[in-house]
């Protein structure tokens, strides 16, 4: 298994795993972002991701984004799906 920073080419697999999680949680309509918007958010560094690969298949992901609070220090929000 390899764990590495996600690349733009990984976005379709990452997006599919996000959708699969929504289906598992019985919330498929909760995914409002489409693949193009997801890819743009990644390219614009709004979100970032780390992936776990088995051969060339992504089997786990972490998606995260940074927020800033004017009252506290920087806060990093993590979303994890394995």
CATH code of residue 10:
3.40.630.30
* pLDDT score of 79: 60
Lowest mean pLDDT among 1-10, 31-40, 66-75: 66-75
- Expressed as residue numbers, the domain containing 67 is 2-81
The tens digit of pLDDT for each residue in 14-65 reads 999 999 999 999 999 999 999 999 999 999 998 999 999 999 899 999 998 8
Residue where the block lists tokens 């995914």: 31
For the chain, what is the domain count? 1
DSSP SS3 for 79: strand
Q: How many residues does the chain have?
A: 82
User: Distance (Å, rounded) from C-alpha 60 to C-alpha 80?
Assistant: 8
Residue of 46, 30, 50 lying closest to 38 (CA atoms): 46
Which of the four pLDDT bands, split at 50, 70 and 90, describes residue 75? low
* pLDDT score of 69: 67
* pLDDT score of 76: 58
């Amino acid at each position: 298994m390899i764990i590495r920073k996600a690349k733009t080419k990984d976005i379709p697999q990452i997006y599919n795993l996000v959708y699969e999680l929504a289906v598992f949680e019985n919330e498929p309509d909760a995914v409002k972002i489409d693949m193009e918007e997801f890819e743009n958010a990644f390219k614009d560094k709004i979100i970032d991701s780390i992936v776990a690969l088995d051969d060339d298949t992504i089997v786990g992901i972490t998606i995260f984004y940074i927020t800033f609070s004017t009252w506290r220090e920087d806060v990093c929000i993590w979303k994890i799906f394995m």
